[in-house]
């Protein structure tokens, strides 16, 4: 099963498949390739991982829409990057298997639950996005409690292993109704799934291991950042439970339009008004550019609507080719003429035969 296989092909369903068809297809494949039924079978494990990733996307309306629209790029923008291993799938069973099996399945040990991801939309100017900039983001989020170091326990004490679940966070049994090979679990009623019990909680965070605090994070936008781009700041999301890794911060860029320029890829478009004499005889004009001003040579006989190019005066992204400044020429026709100007224009018209 290739890494980049289509999710619909992985589950063997059509692109217009109903939710129930997707659940049935996944259940059938999961029963066949589940690691409990195929111990030490790497090929089955890889298939199980791929089909679980496919089901995670196609069973979620928002993820499915993003995938249908932009493929895996759309999923990455949402913060979904699949599963690292089978244990990663088990830790997400509530989202992946709940609809199909009605139960959750877990590995033998409780995994540290990372913090939630955060999302923010940041308005920036056209020039900030084109040239790159740094923006300070001010907001509040949960952070590791400095008093207890995230353990939730009073300094000098430690959480103790839950005696009911032995630290797994779940009570486990084998379910014969599902073929006898699934480990069916339920959340431990004593520790609520944490696997540990805090008998003497930290006074600063009241046992949570995290506190809400204001933070300032510097967002570094590379040159060429475009409207709708999503920048990922790893580890800048909510704090994880009891010392687990924090989540990430996803920042959506909202670029304000420019009064002077229009962007086209890495090129910048500017409209310049010139008089018809300069257009006819040629000359030079100054035009605004991303990095100050630039001199543009106007060839003789330039027509209205013609586009002239200043190479290398566009966006210079960190990766990829640099853009140009494209100047679209618009002729300015005078409204008021002196008698002599009118006479000269009439002579010009007569000589040119127009």
Instruction: Check pLDDT > 50 for residue 93.
Output: no
pLDDT category at 262 given cuts 50, 70, 90 is very high
Gap between the Cα atoms of 114 and 118, Å rounded = 12
Gap between the Cα atoms of 221 and 230, Å rounded = 10
User: Domains in the chain, please, with CATH?
Assistant: 1-105 (1.10.287.110), 108-155+206-257 (2.60.260.20), 160-197 (no CATH), 261-352 (2.60.260.20)
Instruction: Check pLDDT > 50 for residue 332.
Output: yes
pLDDT category at 222 given cuts 50, 70, 90 is very high
Instruction: Check pLDDT > 60 for residue 228.
Output: yes
In sequence order, the β-bridge partners of residue 215 are 139
Q: Measure the CA dihedral 188/193/196/199, to 10°.
A: -80
Instruction: Check pLDDT > 60 for residue 179.
Output: no
Q: What percent of the chain has pLDDT over 70?
A: 85
Tracing tokens 């687990």 back to the chain, one arrives at 244
Instruction: Check pLDDT > 60 for residue 212.
Output: yes
Instruction: Check pLDDT > 80 for residue 174.
Output: no
pTM of the model: 0.58
State pLDDT tens for residues 27-37: 888 888 877 77
**Helices and strands, counts by H and E, the chain:** 11, 15
């Amino acid at each position: 099963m290739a890494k980049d296989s289509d999710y619909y092909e992985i589950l063997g369903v059509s692109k217009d498949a109903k939710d129930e068809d997707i659940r049935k297809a996944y259940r059938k494949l999961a029963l066949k390739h589940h690691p409990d039924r195929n111990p030490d079978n790497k090929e089955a494990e890889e298939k199980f991982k791929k089909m679980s990733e496919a089901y995670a996307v196609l069973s979620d309306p928002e993820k499915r829409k993003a995938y249908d629209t932009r493929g895996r790029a759309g999923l990455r923008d949402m913060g979904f990057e699949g599963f690292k291993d089978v244990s990663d799938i088990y830790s997400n069973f509530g989202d992946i298997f709940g609809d199909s099996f009605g139960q959750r399945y877990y590995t033998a040990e409780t995994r540290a639950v990372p913090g939630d991801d955060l999302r923010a939309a940041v308005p920036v100017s056209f020039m900030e996005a084109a040239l790159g900039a740094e923006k300070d983001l001010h907001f509040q989020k949960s952070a590791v409690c400095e008093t207890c170091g995230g353990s939730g326990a009073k300094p000098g004490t430690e959480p103790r292993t839950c005696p009911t679940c032995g630290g797994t966070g779940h009570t486990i049994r084998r379910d014969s109704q599902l073929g006898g090979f699934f480990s069916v679990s339920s959340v431990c009623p004593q520790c609520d799934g944490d696997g540990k019990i805090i008998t003497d909680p930290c006074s600063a965070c009241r046992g949570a291991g995290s506190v809400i605090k204001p933070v300032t994070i510097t967002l570094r936008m590379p040159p060429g950042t475009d409207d709708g781009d999503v920048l990922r700041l790893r580890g800048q999301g909510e704090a994880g439970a009891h010392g687990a890794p924090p989540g990430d911060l996803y920042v959506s860029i909202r670029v304000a339009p420019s009064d002077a320029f229009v962007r086209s890829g890495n090129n910048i478009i500017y409209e310049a008004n010139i008089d018809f004499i300069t257009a006819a005889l040629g000359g030079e004009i100054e035009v605004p550019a991303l990095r100050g001003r630039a001199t543009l040579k106007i060839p003789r006989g330039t027509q209205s609507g013609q586009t002239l190019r200043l190479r290398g005066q566009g966006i210079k992204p960190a990766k990829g080719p640099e853009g140009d400044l494209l100047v679209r020429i618009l002729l300015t026709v005078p409204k008021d003429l002196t008698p002599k100007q009118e006479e000269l224009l009439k002579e010009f018209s007569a000589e040119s035969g127009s």
